[in-house]
């Protein structure tokens, strides 16, 4: 089975031949809509007892994943409509578009936009709780997919071998618009033990205001070229270039994110957007890493798994979180 990424927010190819479509489902989050469907192209014609022509799949196919910004939900609706995802990709062969088209959906948007889906596409969203789905998905991936989980430290990615008998309990940290921290004890056994409202939405929202960036990717890209020391106050800035070794603080540790802006006597325009973005990314990632570590400590959990689109394989973000987790160890 192939996994195929077909969409990034705002960009999609409307005319890909998809064949028969099944397993169409949605996660409508605070920032992004995640959409998945399975398509089979290796089909042959079959005629049913009533003499109607249909297609039968040979069982091979692809998963397709697409994302849309939740604020541009109409693009998502258009994508579904164009590809006829809710009708199995082929309107004339399957059930006619009635009120009974039921699609699995999760995330806050499955409540917020239920009427919109019904009105525009005749889709009834069959809601699943996002935390239940998150835990079921994480457990499935960790157990069923080889080389799914990895550590990332100082630019080095190392896959983790998961021993199925030694997986639980673990802390699952999902960094979306906000951050949820779940203590997972088994299949369907979990508790939301903590969270923080300083998450991916904070990085993108505050970053947008401070830098005038037009997209998340642009903001993230800027952070790679920035130097947070231009705006963060370091221990060395306070201690005349020296470490505060008595309490284990090196001169290069960030003492106060954005702290230099207090004494610099500069305006926002005097700071480079690259430096602001870098500082913001470190501030938020550090904070999440520290809260996660403290919760792992609180419950005696030896493993933390991080997920969510804020991380999305972004190396600098992952590195910062890792440093924060290891800071006190």
Q: b/e for 294-323, b at 16 or more Cβ within 10 A? A: ebbeeeebebbbbbbbbbbebebbbbbbbe
For residue 69, the partner it binds in ligand ADP, ligand PAZ, none, with Cβ less than 5 to 8 A by kind, is ligand ADP
Nearest by Cα to 106 from 174, 28, 172, 23: 28
Residue 184 host element (H or E): strand 179-186
The partner in contact with residue 195, picked from ligand ADP, ligand PAZ, none with C-beta cut-offs of 5 to 8 angstroms by kind, is ligand PAZ
Q: What's the longest Cα–Cα distance across the chain?
A: 86
Between 127 and 266, CB nearer to ligand ADP: 127
Q: Is the Cβ of residue 88 or residue 199 nearer to ligand PAZ in the bound state?
A: 199
Q: 3-state secondary structure string, 53-102?
A: EEEEECCCCEEEEEEEEHHHHHHHHHHHHHHCHHHCCCCCCCCCCCCCEE
The item of ligand ADP, ligand PAZ, none sharing an interface with residue 216, based on CB under 5 to 8 Å by kind, is ligand ADP
Rg from Cα positions in the chain: 23
Handedness of CA 204, 208, 214, 219 (dihedral sign): negative
Decide whether 69 or 243 has the Cβ nearer to ligand ADP.
69
Provide DSSP, 225-246: T--GGGTSEEHHHHTTT--BGG
Minimum gap (Å) between residue 268 Cβ and ligand PAZ: 27
* Cβ distance to ligand ADP smaller for residue 30 or 259: 30
Q: Which is nearer to ligand PAZ, 161 or 197 (CB)?
A: 197
Q: Using CB distances below 5 to 8 A depending on partner kind, what does residue 310 bind out of ligand ADP, ligand PAZ, none?
A: ligand ADP
- Choose among ligand PAZ, ligand ADP, none what residue 32 binds, the Cβ cut-off being 5 to 8 Å by kind: ligand ADP
CB 233 within 8 A of CB 254: yes
Q: Which does 204 bind (CB under 5 to 8 A by kind): ligand PAZ, ligand ADP, none?
A: ligand ADP
- Name which of ligand ADP, ligand PAZ, none residue 180 binds, using a CB cut-off of 5 to 8 Å depending on partner kind: ligand PAZ
Tell me the closest approach of the beta carbon of residue 27 to ligand ADP, in angstroms: 6
CB of 205 to ligand PAZ, least distance (A): 12
Cβ neighbour number for residue 98 with a 10 Å cutoff: 7
Nearer to ligand PAZ, 107 or 207 (CB): 107
- Report how far apart, in Å, the C-alpha atoms of 280 and of each of 49, 197, 223, 249, 262 are: 63, 15, 9, 21, 16
In whole angstroms, the minimum distance from the beta carbon of 131 to ligand PAZ comes to: 7
Sites of contact with ligand ADP (CB under 6 A): 9, 29-32, 69, 107, 176-177, 200-201, 203-204, 216-217, 308-310, 312
What's the min distance (Å) between Cβ of 109 and ligand ADP?
8
Of 195 and 312, which CB lies nearer to ligand PAZ in the complex structure?
195
| Rounded least distance, CB 203 to ligand ADP, Å | 5
Q: Which is nearer to ligand ADP, 32 or 288 (CB)?
A: 32
Q: Which residues bind ligand PAZ (CB under 6 A)?
A: 29-30, 107-108, 176-180, 195-197
What's the CA gap between 76 and 228, in Å, rounded? 36
Name the 3-class secondary structure at 5.
strand
């Amino acid at each position: 089975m192939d996994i195929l990424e077909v969409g990034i927010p705002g960009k999609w190819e409307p005319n890909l031949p998809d064949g028969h479509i099944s397993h169409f489902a949605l996660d409508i989050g605070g920032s992004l809509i995640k959409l998945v469907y399975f398509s089979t192209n290796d089909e042959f014609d079959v005629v049913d007892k009533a003499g109607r022509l249909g297609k039968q799949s040979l069982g091979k196919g692809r998963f397709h994943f697409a994302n849309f910004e939740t604020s541009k939900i109409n693009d998502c609706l258009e994508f579904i409509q164009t590809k006829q995802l809710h009708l199995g990709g082929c309107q004339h062969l399957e059930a006619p578009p009635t009120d009974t088209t039921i699609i699995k959906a999760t995330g806050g948007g499955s409540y917020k936009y239920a009427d919109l889906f019904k009105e525009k596409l005749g889709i009834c969203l069959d809601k699943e709780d996002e935390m239940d789905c998150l835990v079921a998905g994480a457990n499935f991936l960790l157990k069923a997919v080889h080389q799914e989980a990895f550590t990332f430290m100082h630019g080095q990615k190392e896959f983790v071998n998961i021993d199925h008998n030694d997986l639980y309990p673990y802390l699952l940290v999902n960094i979306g618009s906000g951050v949820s921290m779940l203590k997972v004890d088994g299949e369907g056994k979990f508790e939301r033990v903590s969270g923080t409202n300083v998450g991916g939405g904070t990085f993108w929202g505050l970053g947008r205001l401070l830098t005038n960036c037009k997209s998340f990717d642009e903001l993230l890209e800027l952070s790679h070229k920035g130097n947070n020391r231009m705006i963060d106050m370091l221990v060395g800035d306070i201690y005349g270039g020296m470490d505060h070794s008595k309490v284990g603080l090196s001169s290069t540790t960030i003492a106060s994110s954005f702290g230099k802006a207090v004494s610099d006597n500069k305006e926002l325009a005097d700071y480079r957007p690259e430096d602001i973005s870098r500082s913001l990314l470190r501030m938020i990632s550090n904070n999440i890493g520290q809260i996660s570590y403290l919760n792992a400590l609180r419950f005696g959990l030896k493993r933390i798994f991080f997920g969510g689109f804020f991380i999305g394989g972004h190396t600098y973000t992952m590195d910062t979180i890792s440093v924060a987790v290891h800071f006190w160890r």
